[in-house]
Structure 1
Amino acid sequence: MKIYRSALLRFAPDGSPLYDSDGLLATAPDAQGQERVVAAGSWQALQAQYTQQAGAQVQHLPGRLIAPGFVDMHIHYPQTDVIGAPADGLLPWLEHYTFPHEARFHDRAYADGVAEFFLDELLRNGVTTALTFATSHPNSVDAIMTAAQQRGMRMIAGKVLQDRHSPDGVRDDTEQGLIDTETLIQRWHGVDRLGYAITPRFAPTSTPAQLRGAGELAARYRDVWIQSHVSENLDEIRWVRELFPAARSYLGVYDDFGLMRERAVYAHCIWLDDEDRALLREKHTAAAISPTSNLFLSSGYFDYQKADAADFRYGLASDVGGGMSFSPFRTMQAAYVVGREGHAKQGFSLKPGALWWQHTAGAAQALGLGGVIGNLQPGCEADFVVLNPACTPLLARKTAQAETLDELLFAMIVLGDDRLIEQTIVSQAK
């Protein structure tokens, strides 16, 4: 058993933060060798029970804070080198930067190199689980899965399906793309901590035949994930309306093809109406909020108040490379700004604990992995970060003045970056 003593952050089932300024986290391998949380809480209340057990290893981390590993609900690993590319908007950005770069992933050696760097960057920023797009090349999935397996990470990825309105080099064949998808599901889904996601890029780049085939795969493999984009940009929405005139809405296109269910995640979800939001709740489908990307591309603001009123699941995402940073602190900071700007007339403001929850336990719940990752309650996989709130002079000064948990968390959200992450611990099955 491993025992850590430090400040400790975790979450109650209702999403409220639980905090111990002097906490104990105990982890131990289960029967399969997977490191799991055994106990979490006050050092004073728990230390007598756990520190005296035979073989217990106690690590004292004074001045540090242990928190759940971050969960990134939507990211593009092949766009690692596209981050920071200037563009006039979403569609020109795809044409001039994204598609030419993704075409290089037919080369397995190139894909391996990007995958290695990408996962190291995630871990350096405290992200222990991600739902990521690959490219249309099967090689790209093999590369990210192999690299994640070597690190013992929980990773969900999928080959992009895009059989039209895409340039040579990234466009796939309708039937072969679906065959490749099924082959990759059988090769990787459920292996160690890996999961597969059926991945139409977005409705305009897939023919009805490809979307129909993706829906058939989703019905056949009920425990795999589904991921795509929806209602990010007004020009994109107009394009979808032209391509799918019979659909009730952009989101309705995916529903028409059987692509909305538990473990389906749609990025952005900005320009939804009330029927769309009700459909997300009815289908147990989640939204991935990507605030730095939405600000970078001037796409719009996610409506938190209407999302909460509709009671559908959502969580935070970096959306690299449209997103501007791998750092969860930048993402949470941007979400706070988006919440304020998008609801300025109502005086709405997201609480620091709620922002943190959206990037950990809330994101895990939205992925259908609540109680598995994103939290440090007993039974959870032991993915966590060790934070140093004094990692910079300004953070040290600000966090030393914090009188409440909200003040402490908000200081780290506003002033934090990768320097705040002292260690990232991944629960690796042996």
Structure 2
Amino acid sequence: MSAPHEWSCDGLVPDARGLVVLVGDGAVATLGVGLSGLGTDVAVAKWGRVVHVTAGAAAPEDLHDLLLTAWTPERSRARPQTRRFTPIKDDHVQTARVSETSFWVSGNEVDPDAFVALDGPAIGRSRMSTIRLSEGVPDDPIFLPATTPVTLAGHIHGPHGEEAGGAGVELFGLLDSRQIGDAMPERLDERTPLLLERSVIASPDGSFQFDGVSIGPFRIAASHSSLGSGGVWVALVGPPVDIALTLAPKVKARVLRHGLPVPAARVRFLPDPDAWAASVDPTDHVTEQTRTADDGTFALPLPRKPAGTIQVLLDDGTGVRVVVPNLQTTGDVLLGDLTVPDQRRLVVRLLDGSTCDLLAVGPLGALGLNVVRAASRTGLYELELPDAGSWALNAECRGVVYEIEPPIIAVPADGQPPAVDALVVKRRGD
């Protein structure tokens, strides 16, 4: 340092490539010289480390075209208890190649389960906890051993040996990269936090494979639209694994309107909001939708945890909902005939709202909300609501959304709702 806020690095040749690192109190500044991944301006971060890749279980000649990237698990605010995560790029961490086998990693905030991933065409993927990198000092390099790539293969079949071609197959690894290998947890179950690493579609004969994997353990989950779902834990990669799918129980019913069968109606399962928010694995609460046959019947596979609602939707927006209890059953659930009522017509007289559109959102307290909009030049609005329940009202006036008094109206299951007189609640100065 020649003076406060000034520094120099003398003796560099014109084509020099390297990294200038300035270490301060709780901060690290870097400037790349001829390096890709770093800009020409000085970058400041809270921490920084040099990562040296060693051969480890791989051969030295395999350490070419290496790539070190930073990732963090995507966390859902709606499902804080989830144990199944998808990785997304970590914008708080930067990586830059210094040499063929060395990288500079720096960053600020660190998620407790964030990691850097080492990939290469001749090695298996390796992960290292970002926290481990952030806890050291810049002049103390960290060594990341490469691993040999192996292939994890297997076969999927139905309950009676049917080939499950087209099944979706997902490969999960442990979320905490510090537990991979010898430090793996003693117990692996549905509450073990997992990170989605890859997904493939099974071949027509039900076979699948994941190339370039390294250290386990892994969880493989498979699902098929008609043969069910299944999964298996793999502690060590070895012989091909066998996954037997289990058929899910189905909910069966017939959809009628005005006493006649309704063909081609859309039928889907909506999870209970509380069960969805408390879910460990979101796939426990979802299933593929279906449509009614020409005679109005349908058979919808239930998810593994079927607390929720069956929703039938017609093309004109009308429909019916039926609550399904969280039954631990292996048999089908028969609902009989489901009658779709006509739309509920809600009439609203909106005071001081002749230039506004009226919005109704509902039914509240359930997934699968509907938004119904109506316009009027006279202040008298008619909204065709497809479901009973509580609906929230708002007014959109010249692009600005205002509250309505009353803010919520109740739509009965039988009959038509009464007309409502409403007032636009505007802020002072509007």
TM-score by length of 2: 0.24
TM-score by length of 1: 0.24
Higher-RCO chain (CA-CA 8 Å, sequence separation at least 6): 1
Judging by fraction of residues, say which structure has more strand: 2
Judging by fraction of residues, say which structure has more helix: 1
Which structure has the larger Rg?
2
